[in-house]
Structure 1
């Protein structure tokens, strides 16, 4: 299956759309970490106010996602791996052994026996370059490339922690600056996403997950 771009927005329009949906994006992304906050509570935390009955861990997850999304929306320089490193440094600031730096030891992934290999900085950079600038697939859409990048970053576990959040924010950084929409898994889509993701981790067969993400998880302004 090919994945044509669904949206054609200017960068200004894409940033506006992301900003208008900021709280929802933070709320949905926080569910990767199992936060128990409601959407109104998330809004209050994003606004900088305290909320009774919300754990410190949940508050930290939301605040770090807010900072990462603000970075994504505010910046437009050409992508390099340093963008992803900065995103990871923000989202995993309280979780990671070494926020913003690639892992140097094995990690396990919940729900699968797959153990991703440890990659060098050069290997990671080359992997991403080959996805974003393939030599033999000139007709590939940006959406196609970003779906591949999203899956590769999640399965490869480049960082010590925060890999799903970093992958989605990296892809959205590129998507916003290409004007092709936002990639987001909503809270009610999470059970299906987790099932498909676990299958992908185990089998390295990407098409079912890519198809589902393309059909259900890309949003934008129809102009």
Structure 2
């Protein structure tokens, strides 16, 4: 995958199931010790979530939100009011050339002439996925589960991923997961293991850890960074991770994550660091600043 655009970059190396009691292979250790207020060592963070982070470098207080009984309804109302912009920014970050007025026209059901069918499909898929997130939220059905993630991925990446709605290795195709950095280098992907056992185990580790995180802002940022770093799917990982993280935030009355196209460079730099060093601090701080 391309760190900036989720572009497929071929297959990764063979994966080996983690022996009991040992760290998952492939997470390089370049720092030791604990961060202030964090009970986990860096090695434990990498083993459980595949990422390292420092809360002192992440300002969760900037995340917008409401208080009171109607907090969730208000966050969903803001989400619906800004949906066209959210879809447009998400598409532009993937290299889509649709302008905001063109996105609004397309979402109104009018075909925009002179645009590639692939770009049109991408915009419509994003809109469908965000609408499904809205439906899940309003029906009280949103959960941080693989089933929900697969459902959203099956919509947002249905025209792009080799197999949408499934983790890498669950279908007929093996490999994948490699990422090309914006600087041109390539980071080998996490192989999925026999019967996708490694990726499923990693997802379960992630959700088990998040069950113990009381602050929904921290939970959302951790999920987004860890799911992006793991590359659970062949394509559309960042988009799906942001959808899931937005669900976590809106469930608590906070605003959804929407990274503006104007901050593409910042996203690329933070993603390069995430994939090359496993340090998610910069990426998580960017996402927090883009949830208001």
- Report the TM-score, using the length of structure 1 for normalisation: 0.89
Structure 1 residue 6: Cα displacement: 4.4
1:7 Cα deviation after fit: 2.1
Residue 118 of structure 1, CA deviation: 2.8
Residue 158 (structure 1) shift: 0.2
Q: Which moved more, 1:73-82 or 1:31-40?
A: 73-82
The aligned length equals 214
CA contact (8 A) 1:131 1:148 kept: no
Asked if 2 retains the 8 angstrom alpha-carbon contact of 1:44 and 1:51, the reply is yes
Say whether the 8 Å CA contact 1:26–1:65 is kept in structure 2: yes
Compute the displacement of 1:102 (Å): 0.2
Distance 2:64 2:104 in 1: 29
Give CA-to-partner distance per residue, 1:90-128, whole Å, 9 cap, x none: 011111111100002233212143223134253143133
Of 256, 260, 270, the match for 1:186: 260
Aligned equivalent of 1:125, options 195, 203, 208: 203
Spell out, residue by residue over 1:130-155, the C-alpha distance to the aligned partner (whole angstroms, 9 max, x if none): 34213xxx5x5211111111111111
Give the counterpart of 2:231 among 151, 157, 168: 157
- Provide the alpha-carbon RMSD of the alignment: 1.7
1:15-164 residue pairs with structure 2 within 5 A? 15-76=76-137, 77-79=141-143, 80-104=145-169, 105-111=175-181, 112-119=185-192, 120=197, 122-134=200-212, 140-164=214-238
Q: Is the CA contact (8 Å cut-off) linking 2:142 and 2:247 kept in structure 1?
A: no
User: Which structure has the larger Rg?
Assistant: 2
* Mean CA deviation greater in 34-43 or 24-33: 24-33
Contact persistence 1:131–1:145 (CA under 8 A)? no
Which region of structure 1 is more displaced relative to structure 2, 46-55 or 72-81? Answer: 72-81
CA distance in 1, matches of 2:250, 2:266: 25
| Distance across 2 between alignment mates of 1:43 and 1:6 | 25
The answer for the alignment partner of 1:8 in structure 2 is: 66
Q: Report the TM-score when normalising by structure 2.
A: 0.69
Q: Distance in 2 between matches of 1:131 and 1:59?
A: 38
- The structure whose residues are more often helix, as a share, is 1
Alignment deviations for residues 14-65 of structure 1 (CA, whole Å, 9 cap, x no partner): 1111100000000011123200010000101111111111111110000000
Name the counterpart of 1:171: 245
Quick one: distance in 1 between partners of 2:126 and 2:287? 21
Moved more, 102-111 or 11-20: 102-111
- Structure 2 CA distance, aligned partners of 1:101 and 1:67? 18
Q: Distance in 1 between matches of 2:217 and 2:77?
A: 20
Question: Any idea what SS the aligned residue of 1:75 has?
Answer: helix
